[in-house]
Amino acid sequence: MTGHPLELKICGTTSPADAALLNGTAVRWCGIVVEADFSSRSLSVEQAAAVRMATDRDVVVLLCEPSPGLVATVVEHVRPFAIQLQCAESPAEVARVRAAVDCEVWKAVHLPAVASQGPPAAYVRAGADRLVLDSQVVGEAGVQFGGTGRVGDWGRMADWMAGIREVPVMLAGGIHAGNLHEAVRQTGPDGVDLCSGVEQQVGRRDPQRLAELLAAWCALEPNGEAVG
């Protein structure tokens, strides 16, 4: 950990009803995927704006190699706390988005690494405010950047996190109530980012699984150690 508080993001929110489930909880950020072909949870800008209106949590919009026009439209209509660049964006692309917006810019860094991906430190130098270490899956339909439900290589992710001190680092990839404590213990992140671990099916949140996750989360001390 970099000394920042341990915080929670629930991603892949697809409806106002699912967004409202996060209100008043320990969740810090509500994540919404926008205009991303790789994700079945992707929404239009208009749909994302409606979801954003339903939650009192800070909103993070995930974009995949976005055009300058899409970035500007998202900022205007969704008013996110942060834009998360989720795919194979280069450090130069991160710097371009950072210069264009007033909100935070986050960068997802994937294991195994994709060809155009720079080292984590390069994204920090480019101006990323936060990194998200995630797993990606290559299948017949191409690369799926996040939301796979696949647990990442926590040992390798811990090694990467140990070398990053300038910005907070989030852990993502197959996390749920049953493995949350072990994931945090092994990697020591500044935050946890999850999606499928609180779903009943792709794109639909499960209130019971969310409640179980939040109970497990609240059983963590601020330093990431389990209580009891």
For the chain, what is the domain count? 1
Can you give the pLDDT at residue 160? 79
User: Would you say residue 223 lies in a domain?
Assistant: no
User: Would you say residue 42 lies in a domain?
Assistant: yes
Task: Give the single-character DSSP code of 198.
Answer: G
Can you give the pLDDT at residue 158? 86
User: Would you say residue 117 lies in a domain?
Assistant: yes
Can you give the pLDDT at residue 138? 56
User: Would you say residue 227 lies in a domain?
Assistant: no
Q: Domain of 165: which CATH number?
A: 3.20.20.70
Q: What is the CA radius of gyration of the chain?
A: 16
Can you give the pLDDT at residue 1? 56
Domain boundaries, position 70: 7-215
User: Would you say residue 85 lies in a domain?
Assistant: yes
Distance of CA 85 to the CA centre of its chain: 9
- Position 2, amino acid: T
DSSP structure string for 20-72: HTTTTSS--EEEEEBS-TT-TT-B-HHHHHHHHHT-SSEEEEEESS--HHHHH
Q: Which of 142, 133, 176, 193 is nearest to 36 (CA)?
A: 142
Can you give the pLDDT at residue 146? 54
User: Would you say residue 186 lies in a domain?
Assistant: yes
Please answer whether residues 198 and 205 qualify as being in contact, where contact means their C-beta atoms are separated by less than 8 angstroms.
Answer: yes
C-alpha atoms less than 13 angstroms from C-alpha of 114 in its C-beta half-sphere: 21
Cα dist. 28→81, 82, 84, 206 in Å? 11, 12, 15, 18
User: Would you say residue 228 lies in a domain?
Assistant: no
Q: Any idea which residue has 């009891």 for tokens? A: 228
Running along the chain, 228 residues long, what does each successive block of 10 average in pLDDT? 82 98 98 94 98 98 98 98 95 97 95 66 95 73 54 79 87 94 93 95 95 96 53
